[in-house]
């Protein structure tokens, strides 16, 4: 008698075998290409005779060899003007490293600036984290065909249209991202900070404005930055785009120029460029009329090996940072849009507060954050932090203004989200970079920034906590019973109390509650 389950068992076995073969096929297809034939290049060091070198060199020569010049880029229009003007001033090289580069107005216009620089003979090296390149593959492939442009992708996805499949098959690698933001021109000027390249970072009208901060640097810190870029460029995680992307067509490069030309006449882009020029930022750069602070500055960065999980804890950015600045002895002001302290972090902060050290923290409110899951990792820390006497502020989504309270350069957006990553220690040390105070920045992503030893610049950021931030953010408080409430300080002197997360909807609050139940805090 035939076994009635024989055919079913045989079908199940065939399905399982097919599934195994399918996964094996894709696993083999997902093998990263060899880097043995990858080109080798390093930063140019003989750039003193370039226009930038001749302009900057005499200033640098007037100061000690261990001192650099820095200028805070808080206003978004000034941050855009800096990048555009430097690209147009470049003669030898542009090295750019970013986590996200969008194909929107800001992204296309800066791509066009890089292309025009390459047309003049400038060598352009562009290193992008591949998690932030969605939708621009054809454009990257086309730009890479220019003899003076070379583009590499950090920890690339091999399945371009199904990146989720890459996470399923290669999660341990693809979960680690290059979060760095660095822009170096002629090895003479560097920009480091929190801004990626996209409309929201430079407050193109009709976008939610990301409130951010960069530092413009000249002098020895630029050469340090170039060395870090070279390490990432030559790392085992950086793949030439021609090894990853399909070959481009001639039309793709034509499309870049068409878009750039169209954006110059499009109403929204035209309004942006008109506001950019009206802000005075472009003219300040053209005139060289920038206030420089000549101080000791260090470029600090995670090693690129962190992108493969091969870096030791003493080589990571937090260890380097506190080795240079030390732990706070009097006060510390921390600005982090994604603030997810773990239990040990909360105990350490409470311990500092218990010694009389004044700690103040600014992060996003639920309404202002662009990542609700991250907010879920933060909410449980509020009560213990407040009980320890730590000041806690949450950015107001409906507030237009930068970290210093300026209204210039805000565009037409009435909504904003905090994106700056900076902190001060004891009125002496200021950090500006890409580092968030969360498990992802600490353990998974690579980060970089400038640590500045300057009482003047540090005082400017500390003053923001005293004067501007209370009017730009909600002050979080605790009732005697241990319940949270939020105070909204208005410029007319009114103080409004909120007993639920301000500006948030019922659905937003429930979504955060659901996320908080998931074991994902280590990923945030």
Q: Could you list the active site residues?
A: 179, 181, 186, 419, 421, 426
Q: Which residues contact 205 (CB under 8 A, 6 or more apart)?
A: 268, 271, 272, 275, 411, 412, 413
d(CA 379, CA 504): 14
Sign of the C-alpha dihedral computed for residues 407, 411, 415 and 418 taken in this order: negative
Check if the beta carbon of residue 232 is closer than 8 Å to that of residue 445: no
Tokens 């909600």 correspond to 474
Q: Give the H/E segment covering residue 363.
A: strand 358-364
CA 120-122-126 angle, to 5 degrees, is: 130
Residues 95, 87: Cα–Cα separation, whole Å: 10
Q: From CA 351, how far away is CA 75, in angstroms rounded?
A: 36
40: which residues sit within 8 A by CB, 6+ positions away?
234
Q: DSSP assignment, residue 262?
A: H
Element holding 22 (H helix, E strand): helix 6-29
Nearby residues of 50 by Cβ (< 8 Å), 6 or more positions away: 90, 91, 92, 186, 188
List helix spans (H) across 367-495: 372-378, 382-387, 439, 455-467, 469-472
Tokens of 496: 């409004």
- Phi first, then psi: give them for residue 119, nearest 5 degrees: -60, -30
- The residue written with tokens 């979960």 in the block is 175
Query: How many helices and strands, by DSSP H and E, does the chain display?
Result: 19, 20
297 HSE (CA, 13 A, CB side): 33
Q: Tell me how far apart the alpha carbons of residues 9 and 25 are, in angstroms, rounded to a whole number.
A: 24
Q: Rounded to 5 degrees, what angle do the CA atoms 470, 475, 481 make?
A: 155
Which residue has tokens 């960065």?
Answer: 301
Q: Among residues 235, 212, 227, which one has the least CA distance to residue 300?
A: 227
Identify any residues that bridge with 485 across adjacent strands, giving them in sequence order: 477
Q: Are 176 and 308 in contact (CB under 8 A)?
A: yes
């Amino acid at each position: 008698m035939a076994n009635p389950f024989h055919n079913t068992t045989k079908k199940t076995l065939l399905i399982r075998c097919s599934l195994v073969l399918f996964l094996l096929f894709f696993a083999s297809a997902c093998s990263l290409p060899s880097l043995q034939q990858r080109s080798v290049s390093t930063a140019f060091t003989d750039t003193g005779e370039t226009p930038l070198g001749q302009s900057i060199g005499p200033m640098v020569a007037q100061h000690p060899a261990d001192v650099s010049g820095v200028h805070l880029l808080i206003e978004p229009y000034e941050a855009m003007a800096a990048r555009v003007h430097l690209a147009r001033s470049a003669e030898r090289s542009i090295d750019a490293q970013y986590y996200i580069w969008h194909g929107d107005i800001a992204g296309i216009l800066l791509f066009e600036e890089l292309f025009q620089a390459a047309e003049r003979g400038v060598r352009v090296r562009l290193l992008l984290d591949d998690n932030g390149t969605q939708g621009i593959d054809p454009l990257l492939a086309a730009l890479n065909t220019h003899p003076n442009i070379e583009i590499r992708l950090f920890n690339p996805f091999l399945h371009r249209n199904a990146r989720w499949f890459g996470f399923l098959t290669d999660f341990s690698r693809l979960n680690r991202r290059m979060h760095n933001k660095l822009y170096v021109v002629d090895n003479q000027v560097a920009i480091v900070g929190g801004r990626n390249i996209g409309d929201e970072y430079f407050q193109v009208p009709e976008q939610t404005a990301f409130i951010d901060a960069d530092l413009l640097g000249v002098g020895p810190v630029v050469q340090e930055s170039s060395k870090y870029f070279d390490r990432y460029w030559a790392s085992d995680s950086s793949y030439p785009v021609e090894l990853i992307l399909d070959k481009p067509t001639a039309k793709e490069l034509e499309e870049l120029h068409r878009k750039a030309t169209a954006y110059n006449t499009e109403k929204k882009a035209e309004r942006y460029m008109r506001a950019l020029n009206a802000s005075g930022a472009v003219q300040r750069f053209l005139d060289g009329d920038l206030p420089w602070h000549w101080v000791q500055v260090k470029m600090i960065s995670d090693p690129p090996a962190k992108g493969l999980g091969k870096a030791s804890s003493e080589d990571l950015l937090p260890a380097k940072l506190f080795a240079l600045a030390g732990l706070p002895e009097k006060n510390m002001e921390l600005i982090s849009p994604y603030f997810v302290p773990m239990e040990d972090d909360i105990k350490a902060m409470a311990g500092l507060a218990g010694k009389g050290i004044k700690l103040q923290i600014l992060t996003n409110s639920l309404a202002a954050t662009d990542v609700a899951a991250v907010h879920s990792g933060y909410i449980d820390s509020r009560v213990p932090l407040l009980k320890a006497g730590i000041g806690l502020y949450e950015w107001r989504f409906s507030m237009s203004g930068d970290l210093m309270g300026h209204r210039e350069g805000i565009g037409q957006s009435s909504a904003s989200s905090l994106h700056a990553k900076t902190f001060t220690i004891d009125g002496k040390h200021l950090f500006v970079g890409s580092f968030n105070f969360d498990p992802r920045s600490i353990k998974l992503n690579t980060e970089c920034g400038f640590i500045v030893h300057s009482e003047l610049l540090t005082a400017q950021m500390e003053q923001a906590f005293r004067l501007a931030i209370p009017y730009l953010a909600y002050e979080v408080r605790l009732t005697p019973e241990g319940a949270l409430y939020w105070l909204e300080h208005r410029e007319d002197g009114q103080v409004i109390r909120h007993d639920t997360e301000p500006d948030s909807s019922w659905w937003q609050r429930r979504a955060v509650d659901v996320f908080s139940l998931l074991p994902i805090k280590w990923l945030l």
